[in-house]
Chain A
């Protein structure tokens, strides 16, 4: 293992983030607060509670998940796309580092950033509504697994994209809709029966459900299935990355 290289890329990425830390942190904090005002306060005042949890508290795990997905994707995709775009990727390609090390450093940094943000959102949310976490260890497990999985997916998008449009395309057209439809702001059980079945094809449902369970002990799907599916997504992302590196797709000419 080239630990010096992993450390170099990881600290480089974190330093890049740190330089723009105010905008990296303020914007998610502001948007989360807005969600709270709109969904928590305005709508929440009309919905008493969902499965025994006040609506404002109910949406907290979903909101955190939503940011976690978006931030992981954009952090990781940008981190690898930008050196490609600027040409500085030559350095990484000519360095004595393996693909595994490259992924560990970029994905590790992206996941770290989005986890920090998730925690900041959690703290912000706590200002609006009191939150108790029933299974803190599981909460951290879901947080980390999801951050890593979506950072991996972001990494794939960053390698695949050959323009800024493509970089935005998948997050905008696929991931954000799936996140909104994935029970971020509601319980799947609130949907008509056929839609409940359809929802089960949405990967985000499993992530949100598992994460929410770690907070309140209530879930749309069984916690074991949630965990299993989360691991499956991670495995799929890893398989795609392995394939990309095996074929040298789009990185080395």
Chain B
């Protein structure tokens, strides 16, 4: 591999990746996936879908049973020194050396990943993650959220160009989330590629450029977030009424209108991509009935709705 390859190749490029555990369980089935340089990629999927396994194969924790993984154009098995040096990993489980200090454990990781000591870098990371005051404390004395911060600090200690966050915000308070996303944004601005898994779909919605959905060891969808929202997103129109009504007239219900429980709002759900949304007809019908409208607003379905819909469609 020449240098050219490594600077133009995608951050991660996976082809026909299979993983069958020793138990005989097949956790990944023919996964093809390309992660672009500098993007934030969110991997969504239910428990046991294979997210952690997929990350494990890229980072060197899990041996693939088939297929190929390239990181920055280099094969993760034959050129693991190059690929692993590029990667920082924040694991899903909170595992720390209990009797080490924050400073020592973060510095240790930097060395482990082949970088010479650099106190300035470590200091910046600790400050960014609000860990600076705790630098001399033993890990055993830290709270869960603080340990999570330490794991993130460790993953960043060797200045990786690709960062994996495996459910970084599970069981984490608002403040840490905010700190973390600030760090992630800053990293992204510095050109770091970020791959995260999360169960908080609003997080993916807020942070990610692209979204992949994995289920039963298969990637069932990869899409630009905006595209995904546009393609699959159903919109609904909320019509606030001036006076509540007790019942929806039959012909209006037939048009697809529903009445909110409070009786003062009508909802009309439609596909924003279709040529005829039916809104004009609806308005005319409402007008004809003399329904007086206070306000109108449109709402887009969230990723969560899309995601649930996707999984439902497959089962």
Residues of A within 8 A of B (CB): 2, 4-5, 7-9, 12, 15-16, 19, 86-88, 90-98, 248, 252-253
A95 in contact with B61 given A87-B95, A88-B97 (CB within 8 Å) = no
A and B contact pairs by CB, cutoff 8 A, 9 listed: A4-B113, A90-B91, A91-B154, A95-B112, A96-B84, A98-B81, A252-B60, A252-B62, A253-B21
* Contact yes or no, A252 B63, CB < 8 A: yes
Question: In the complex, what distance in Å separates the CA atom of A4 from the CA atom of B158?
Answer: 12
Q: Does B85 contact A (CB under 8 A)?
A: yes
Q: Identify which of A4, A16, A88, A98 contacts B95 (C-beta below 8 A).
A: A88
Judge whether A93 and B60 touch: CB under 8 Å: yes
Give A17 to B99 CA distance when docked, in angstroms: 12
A residues less than 8 Å from B236 (CB atoms): none
Across-interface contacts of A92 in B (CB, < 8 A): 112
Beyond A88-B95, A90-B95, A95-B84, whether A4 also contacts B62 by CB under 8 A is: no
Tell me whether A86 and B97 are in contact in the complex, defined as CB-CB below 8 angstroms, given that A8-B111, A252-B60 are known contacts.
yes
Choice from B22, B93, B114 contacting A96 with Cβ under 8 Å: B114
Residues of B near A5 (CB, < 8 A) are 111-114
Within 8 A of A (CB), among B33-90: 56, 59-63, 80-85, 87, 89
B residues near A95, Cβ cutoff 8 Å: 84, 112-114
Of the listed residues B83, B104, B111, the one surrounded by the most CB atoms of chain A closer than 10 A to its CB is B111
Q: Which residues of A contact B87 (CB under 8 A)?
A: 94
How many angstroms between the C-alpha atoms of A96 and B112 in the bound complex?
8
- Interface flag for B307 (CB, 8 Å): no
B62: contacting residue among A7, A9, A91, A253, CB under 8 A: A253
Q: In the assembly, what is the distance between CA of A92 and CA of B154, in Å?
A: 12
- Expressed in whole angstroms, the Cα–Cα distance for A87 and B104 within the complex equals 18
| Nearest opposing residue in chain B for A15, CB measure | B104
* Contact between chains at A2 and B61 (CB < 8 Å): no
* Chain B residues closer than 8 Å to A4, beta-carbon distance: 110-116
B61 and A19 form a contact (CB under 8 A) = no
Complex CA–CA separation, A246 to B84 (angstroms) = 19
The CA-CA distance from A22 to B81 in the complex, in Å, is 38
Whether a CB of chain A sits under 8 angstroms from the CB of B108 is: yes
CA distance A203 to B154 in the complex (A): 44
Inter-chain CA distance A55–B79, complex, in Å, is 57
The CA of A2 and the CA of B112, in the complex, are separated in Å by 8
Closest A-B pairs by Cβ, 5 of them: A8-B111, A87-B95, A96-B84, A96-B81, A96-B85
Task: Provide the bound-state CA to CA distance between A88 and B96, in Å.
Answer: 6
- Cα separation A86 to B147 with both chains bound (whole Å): 14
Q: Which of B59, B89, B112 has the most CB of A within 10 A?
A: B112
Please give, as numbers and ranges, the residues of chain B lying within 8 Å of A253 by CB-CB distance. 21-22, 56, 61-63
Across the interface, A94 reaches (CB within 8 A) one of B81, B84, B108, namely B84
Give the shortest distance, in Å, between B65 (CB) and chain A (any CB): 11
Q: In the complex the two chains form, is B22's CB within 8 Å of A91's CB?
A: no
Q: Which residues of A contact B99 (CB under 8 A)?
A: 16, 19
In the assembled complex, the Cα of A148 lies from the Cα of B115 at a distance in Å of: 27
**Provided the pairs A86-B97, A87-B95, A90-B91 are in contact, do residues A97 and B62 lie with their beta carbons within 8 angstroms?**
no
Minimum distance in angstroms from B226 CB to a CB of chain A: 32
Besides A8-B109, A91-B154, A94-B87, 13 other A-B contacts (C-beta < 8 A): A2-B81, A4-B110, A4-B114, A86-B97, A87-B95, A88-B97, A90-B61, A90-B91, A91-B112, A92-B112, A253-B22, A253-B61, A253-B62
CB distance from A91 to the nearest CB of B (A): 6
Which residue of B56, B85, B112 is within 8 Å of A8 (Cβ)?
B112
Per-position 1/0 for B176-216, Cβ under 8 A of A: 00000000000000000000000000000000000000000
